[in-house]
Amino acid sequence: MLETINICILGDGSVGKSSVTLRFTNDKFYENTIPTILNRITFNKLIDNKEVKFHVNDTSGQEEYELVRDIYIGRCDAFVLIYSITCMNSLSQLKIIMDSIIRIKNDDDISIILVGNKCDLEDERVVNRKTAKKLAYNWNCKFYETSVKNNTNINEVFTELIKDFLLKKISKDKKKDKKNKKKCNLL
Protein backbone atom coordinates (compact mmCIF):
# COMPACT_ATOMS: atom_id res chain seq x y z
CA MET A 1 0.00 0.00 0.00
CA LEU A 2 1.29 3.43 -0.96
CA GLU A 3 1.73 5.62 2.11
CA THR A 4 0.45 9.19 1.62
CA ILE A 5 1.47 12.22 3.66
CA ASN A 6 0.31 15.83 3.50
CA ILE A 7 3.13 18.14 4.54
CA CYS A 8 2.72 21.84 5.27
CA ILE A 9 5.71 24.16 4.90
CA LEU A 10 5.27 27.11 7.26
CA GLY A 11 7.26 30.17 8.24
CA ASP A 12 7.60 33.91 7.87
CA GLY A 13 8.01 35.56 4.46
CA SER A 14 11.39 35.29 2.71
CA VAL A 15 12.79 32.48 4.86
CA GLY A 16 13.10 30.12 1.88
CA LYS A 17 9.98 27.95 2.14
CA SER A 18 9.53 27.75 -1.63
CA SER A 19 13.25 27.20 -2.16
CA VAL A 20 13.29 24.30 0.32
CA THR A 21 10.21 22.82 -1.37
CA LEU A 22 11.68 23.14 -4.87
CA ARG A 23 15.05 21.73 -3.79
CA PHE A 24 13.36 18.68 -2.25
CA THR A 25 10.82 18.07 -5.02
CA ASN A 26 12.92 18.98 -8.08
CA ASP A 27 16.47 18.98 -6.71
CA LYS A 28 16.93 22.49 -8.13
CA PHE A 29 18.06 25.79 -6.65
CA TYR A 30 16.65 29.02 -7.99
CA GLU A 31 18.44 32.21 -6.95
CA ASN A 32 15.20 34.21 -7.04
CA THR A 33 11.69 32.98 -6.34
CA ILE A 34 8.47 34.96 -6.31
CA PRO A 35 6.39 35.21 -3.11
CA THR A 36 3.96 32.32 -2.74
CA ILE A 37 0.32 32.42 -1.73
CA LEU A 38 -0.06 28.65 -1.94
CA ASN A 39 1.68 26.04 -4.03
CA ARG A 40 0.87 22.33 -3.79
CA ILE A 41 3.21 19.77 -5.30
CA THR A 42 2.35 16.07 -5.43
CA PHE A 43 4.95 13.39 -6.20
CA ASN A 44 6.17 9.96 -5.15
CA LYS A 45 9.58 9.34 -3.64
CA LEU A 46 11.38 6.31 -2.20
CA ILE A 47 12.13 6.77 1.52
CA ASP A 48 13.95 3.91 3.27
CA ASN A 49 12.91 1.48 0.52
CA LYS A 50 9.26 2.45 0.87
CA GLU A 51 7.42 4.46 -1.76
CA VAL A 52 5.70 7.48 -0.26
CA LYS A 53 3.26 9.84 -1.97
CA PHE A 54 3.88 13.43 -0.93
CA HIS A 55 1.53 16.37 -1.05
CA VAL A 56 3.77 19.30 -0.16
CA ASN A 57 1.85 22.49 0.62
CA ASP A 58 4.09 25.55 0.37
CA THR A 59 2.21 28.36 2.14
CA SER A 60 2.52 32.12 2.24
CA GLY A 61 4.40 33.72 5.11
CA GLN A 62 2.43 36.95 4.79
CA GLU A 63 -0.01 37.75 7.62
CA GLU A 64 -2.86 38.53 5.25
CA TYR A 65 -2.97 34.85 4.26
CA GLU A 66 -3.26 33.56 7.83
CA LEU A 67 -6.74 32.09 7.21
CA VAL A 68 -5.47 30.06 4.23
CA ARG A 69 -2.55 28.88 6.35
CA ASP A 70 -4.91 27.75 9.11
CA ILE A 71 -7.04 25.79 6.63
CA TYR A 72 -3.94 23.91 5.43
CA ILE A 73 -2.80 23.26 8.99
CA GLY A 74 -6.10 21.44 9.54
CA ARG A 75 -5.64 19.35 6.39
CA CYS A 76 -1.99 18.38 6.83
CA ASP A 77 -0.34 15.47 8.65
CA ALA A 78 3.15 16.86 9.25
CA PHE A 79 4.86 20.22 9.36
CA VAL A 80 8.18 21.81 8.44
CA LEU A 81 8.60 25.07 10.37
CA ILE A 82 11.24 27.23 8.68
CA TYR A 83 13.04 30.34 9.87
CA SER A 84 16.08 32.13 8.49
CA ILE A 85 19.23 32.08 10.60
CA THR A 86 19.72 35.69 9.44
CA CYS A 87 16.44 36.98 10.96
CA MET A 88 15.45 36.66 14.63
CA ASN A 89 11.89 37.79 13.88
CA SER A 90 11.40 34.78 11.60
CA LEU A 91 12.03 32.49 14.57
CA SER A 92 9.64 34.51 16.75
CA GLN A 93 6.92 34.19 14.10
CA LEU A 94 7.17 30.40 14.33
CA LYS A 95 5.96 30.56 17.93
CA ILE A 96 2.70 32.07 16.68
CA ILE A 97 2.45 29.42 13.95
CA MET A 98 3.15 26.64 16.47
CA ASP A 99 0.35 27.94 18.70
CA SER A 100 -1.97 27.74 15.67
CA ILE A 101 -0.90 24.15 14.92
CA ILE A 102 -1.57 23.07 18.51
CA ARG A 103 -4.94 24.85 18.58
CA ILE A 104 -6.11 23.54 15.21
CA LYS A 105 -4.78 19.97 15.40
CA ASN A 106 -5.68 19.52 19.09
CA ASP A 107 -3.02 16.80 19.29
CA ASP A 108 0.24 16.80 21.23
CA ASP A 109 1.83 14.09 19.08
CA ILE A 110 2.30 15.81 15.72
CA SER A 111 5.20 15.28 13.31
CA ILE A 112 7.08 18.59 13.18
CA ILE A 113 10.61 19.56 12.21
CA LEU A 114 12.16 22.93 13.02
CA VAL A 115 14.45 24.16 10.24
CA GLY A 116 16.96 27.00 10.36
CA ASN A 117 17.46 27.84 6.70
CA LYS A 118 20.29 29.71 4.94
CA CYS A 119 23.13 28.18 6.97
CA ASP A 120 25.42 29.05 4.06
CA LEU A 121 25.13 32.67 5.30
CA GLU A 122 27.00 31.98 8.53
CA ASP A 123 28.61 35.44 8.54
CA GLU A 124 25.09 36.99 8.66
CA ARG A 125 23.78 34.70 11.42
CA VAL A 126 21.67 36.33 14.15
CA VAL A 127 19.87 33.21 15.47
CA ASN A 128 22.29 30.94 17.28
CA ARG A 129 21.91 27.16 17.15
CA LYS A 130 21.53 26.85 20.91
CA THR A 131 18.40 29.03 20.91
CA ALA A 132 16.81 27.03 18.08
CA LYS A 133 17.77 23.67 19.63
CA LYS A 134 16.18 24.72 22.92
CA LEU A 135 12.98 25.68 21.10
CA ALA A 136 12.93 22.35 19.25
CA TYR A 137 13.42 20.56 22.56
CA ASN A 138 10.50 22.48 24.11
CA TRP A 139 8.32 21.62 21.12
CA ASN A 140 9.46 17.98 21.20
CA CYS A 141 10.61 18.04 17.59
CA LYS A 142 13.80 17.52 15.60
CA PHE A 143 15.97 20.42 14.49
CA TYR A 144 18.06 20.86 11.35
CA GLU A 145 19.92 23.70 9.71
CA THR A 146 19.68 23.74 5.93
CA SER A 147 21.11 25.48 2.93
CA VAL A 148 19.07 25.24 -0.23
CA LYS A 149 21.94 26.74 -2.20
CA ASN A 150 24.40 24.07 -1.03
CA ASN A 151 21.73 21.33 -0.73
CA THR A 152 22.59 20.85 2.96
CA ASN A 153 20.20 18.63 4.98
CA ILE A 154 17.21 19.08 2.65
CA ASN A 155 16.59 15.37 2.07
CA GLU A 156 17.42 14.62 5.70
CA VAL A 157 14.65 16.96 6.90
CA PHE A 158 11.98 15.24 4.83
CA THR A 159 13.29 11.73 5.47
CA GLU A 160 13.24 12.37 9.22
CA LEU A 161 9.76 13.88 9.01
CA ILE A 162 8.43 10.82 7.14
CA LYS A 163 10.00 8.39 9.61
CA ASP A 164 8.52 10.31 12.54
CA PHE A 165 5.09 10.49 10.90
CA LEU A 166 5.04 6.75 10.12
CA LEU A 167 6.12 5.80 13.66
CA LYS A 168 3.43 8.02 15.19
CA LYS A 169 0.83 6.69 12.77
CA ILE A 170 1.64 3.08 13.69
CA SER A 171 1.45 3.96 17.39
CA LYS A 172 -1.92 5.72 16.96
CA ASP A 173 -3.28 2.81 14.90
CA LYS A 174 -2.23 0.33 17.63
CA LYS A 175 -3.93 2.45 20.30
CA LYS A 176 -7.08 2.64 18.20
CA ASP A 177 -7.07 -1.15 17.62
CA LYS A 178 -6.52 -1.78 21.33
CA LYS A 179 -9.38 0.55 22.22
CA ASN A 180 -11.70 -1.14 19.71
CA LYS A 181 -10.83 -4.62 21.07
CA LYS A 182 -11.90 -3.58 24.56
CA LYS A 183 -15.46 -3.03 23.39
CA CYS A 184 -17.90 -5.82 24.12
CA ASN A 185 -20.70 -6.62 21.72
CA LEU A 186 -23.79 -8.43 22.98
CA LEU A 187 -25.97 -10.28 20.56
Mean pLDDT, residues 4-27 taken together? 92
Mean pLDDT, residues 50-55 taken together? 88
In a domain, 106, yes or no: yes
Mean pLDDT, residues 129-134 taken together? 98
Rounded distance between C-alpha atoms, residue 183 and residue 10, angstroms = 40
Domain count, the chain: 1
In a domain, 59, yes or no: yes
Q: Containing domain of residue 78, as a range?
A: 3-181
In a domain, 72, yes or no: yes
pLDDT digits (tens, 9 = 90+) for 142-164: 999 999 999 999 999 999 999 99
User: Which pLDDT value is given to residue 49?
Assistant: 83
User: Which pLDDT value is given to residue 154?
Assistant: 97
User: Which pLDDT value is given to residue 38?
Assistant: 60
Q: What is the CATH number of the domain that holds 73?
A: 3.40.50.300
User: Which pLDDT value is given to residue 174?
Assistant: 77
pLDDT digits (tens, 9 = 90+) for 100-117: 999 999 987 899 999 999
In a domain, 16, yes or no: yes
pLDDT confidence band for 172 (50 / 70 / 90): confident
Q: Does residue 66 carry a pLDDT above 60?
A: yes
**pTM attached to this predicted model:** 0.88
In a domain, 35, yes or no: yes
Q: Is 137 exposed, middle or buried (0-12, 13-18, 19+ CB in 10 A)?
A: exposed
CA distances from 129 to 33, 68, 114, 132, 136 (A): 26, 30, 11, 5, 10
Pairing relationship of beta strands 78-84 and 3-11 according to DSSP bridges: parallel
